[in-house]
Amino acid sequence: MSLVEIVRFALRGLWANRLRSLLTMLGIIIGIAAVILLTALGNGASQYIQSQIAGLGANSITVLPRQPPQSAGTDGRPLTTADVDALSDPQGAPDIASVSGVVTSSVTVDAGRASSGATIVGSTPSYFPGANVQIATGRAYTEADVAAGRKVALLGATVVEDLFGVGADPVGRTVLVNGVPFDVIGTLVPSGNGGGLSNPDENVLTPLTAVQGSLTGFGDLSQIVVQARSTEGQAAAETEVNSILDRRHGIDNADDRDYQVISARQLADVLDQTLGAFTLLLAAIAAISLVVGGIGITNIMLVSVTERTREIGIRKALGAPPSAILGQFLVESIILSLVGGAIGVAVGYAGTLVPLGDFRPVVLPSAVVAAVAVSAAIGIFFGAYPARRAARLRPIDALRRE
C-alpha cells in the first residue's frame, strides 16, 4: 500500500470530521503563534533597549560619588576638579579621550512670567560628546566661556517648551536661573527621555565655572563624565578610572570605594541578561501552550480511534496490515499538526505586525524553524500512541466493539 493511498485515507478521515479537525488544529495554531509572537516580543524589546542604550553614548563612563560602606571606616572623599585633572593625564590614562567635571543642581528657571523646574548642569565642552548631547539651535559653550565664567546656557527641550512654547527659538533671550540671569546661546535636541538616570530634556547646560560662581560655589563635583577613545577601549578606560581614583582617594579594597563607575556597557550587559531571562520565560510559557496543543491532538486521535474502532476492524478483516492502520492515523495527526503549524506561523507573523508602544516585535527566524519542527514532532509523538493502539487491535476485538 503506497504512501499516496495512506495520505488519501488520512485526508478523508480528517474531512469526515471537519469541525473537530479544525478545533484540534486550533490548539497547535495558538501554541505555534504564541511561540513566534512571544519570542518576537522579547527580541523586539531587546533590540529597542539596545538602541536606547546606544543613545546614551556608547563610549561614555560616568563617575558618581558614593557613601562608602561602614567597614571602610571613613566618609570618603568627594570628587574634585583635581580628580578631573588626574584623569585627563594622557600618560596615566591612555584610553581616555576626554574628561569633564560636572556640577548639577535643581533650579527654577524664569523667563518673563513663565517658570520651569530644571536641573542645571555645569561642565566643560567635552561634556557634549561625553554625554551624547546634540545641539538643535545656536551653539555649544566653549573653553573660553568656561575660562571666563560666562553665564551662558543651552536649554533642554522641555525647558524651552515650558518657558517659550512649542517650537520657539529662545536663542538670544535671557533667562533667570534661581534669579541669576543667563544668556541663552542654544537649545538641545529632544532625547525623548534617554532611558537613563535623569531626563536630559529638563537640563540647562552651562559652563562649570558659571554655575560654581553664581549658584553652588567652588566646591565638590556632582559627577565626572569620561569618554573612552573607542568602544573597544571602554573596559580599559574603566580600569584606568578605577586605578587613578583608587590611588588618589587612598582606597585598597574595591568594596570600600567612595565613588561608583557607571557605563552604558555595564547597563547594556545587565539589561541584556534581564531580557534574556525575560525572553526565556516567554518562550517557556509559549512552549507550555504548545504541549497543551499536543495533548489536544493525542486526545482527539484517541477519540477518533475509539470512534472508528469498528471501521479499523473492518479494514483489518479485509487485510489491512498493521502498518497501513498505523500510517493512516499517524498521517492524520501529522497533517493536523503541520497544517496547524503553518497557520500558526502565519498568525504569529501577522501578530508581530502590530506595533506596541515604542517598539515593534522582531520575529526570530530560529523561533519559526523551532516552532515548525516542534509541530511536526508533536504530530509524530502525540499521534504515535493512538495510532499504535489502533494498529494493534485484533480484528475481532475491533469488530465486536460498538
CA distance 226 to 85: 12
Q: How far is the CB of 13 from other proteins (least distance, A)?
A: 10
Q: Is 7 in the site for other proteins (CB under 8 A)?
A: no
Among 311, 376, 377, 385, binds other proteins (CB under 8 A): 311
Q: Is 86 in the site for other proteins (CB under 8 A)?
A: no
Q: How far is the CB of 323 from other proteins (least distance, A)?
A: 7
CA distance 31 to 287: 7
Q: How far is the CB of 309 from other proteins (least distance, A)?
A: 12
Q: Do 251 and 257 contact (CB within 8 A), yes or no?
A: yes
Q: Is 315 in the site for other proteins (CB under 8 A)?
A: yes
Q: How far is the CB of 380 from other proteins (least distance, A)?
A: 21
Among 1, 11, 295, 380, binds other proteins (CB under 8 A): 1
| Per rule CB under 8 A, count of chain residues that contact other proteins | 22
Q: Do 156 and 200 contact (CB within 8 A), yes or no?
A: yes
Q: Which residue, 12 or 247, has its beta carbon nearer to other proteins? A: 12
CA distance 246 to 250: 6
The CB density around residue 13, as the number of other CB atoms within 10 Å, is 18
Q: Is 395 in the site for other proteins (CB under 8 A)?
A: yes
CA distance 370 to 364: 10
Q: Is 16 in the site for other proteins (CB under 8 A)?
A: yes
Burial of 39 (0-12, 13-18, 19+ CB in 10 A): buried
Q: Is 70 in the site for other proteins (CB under 8 A)?
A: no
Site of grid cell 579621550: 97
The CB density around residue 312, as the number of other CB atoms within 10 Å, is 24
CA distance 198 to 87: 24
Q: Which residue, 11 or 292, has its beta carbon nearer to other proteins? A: 11
Residue 169 carries which DSSP code?
-
Q: Which contiguous run of DSSP H or E holds residue 129?
A: helix 127-130
Q: Do 401 and 319 contact (CB within 8 A), yes or no?
A: no
Binding piece for other proteins, criterion CB under 8 A, among 58-66, 185-193, 288-296, 312-320: 312-320
Q: Is 321 in the site for other proteins (CB under 8 A)?
A: yes
At residue 119's C-alpha, the angle toward residues 117 and 125, to 5°, is 140
Q: Which residue, 319 or 365, has its beta carbon nearer to other proteins? A: 319
Q: Which residue, 321 or 355, has its beta carbon nearer to other proteins? A: 321
Q: Do 98 and 110 contact (CB within 8 A), yes or no?
A: no
Q: Which residue, 250 or 321, has its beta carbon nearer to other proteins? A: 321
Among 318, 353, 354, 365, binds other proteins (CB under 8 A): 318
Q: How far is the CB of 320 from other proteins (least distance, A)?
A: 5
CA distance 212 to 242: 26
Q: Which residue, 66 or 310, has its beta carbon nearer to other proteins? A: 310
Q: How far is the CB of 382 from other proteins (least distance, A)?
A: 24
Q: Is 129 in the site for other proteins (CB under 8 A)?
A: no
Q: Rule CB under 8 A: which residues touch other proteins? A: 1-2, 5, 16, 310-311, 313-324, 394-396, 399
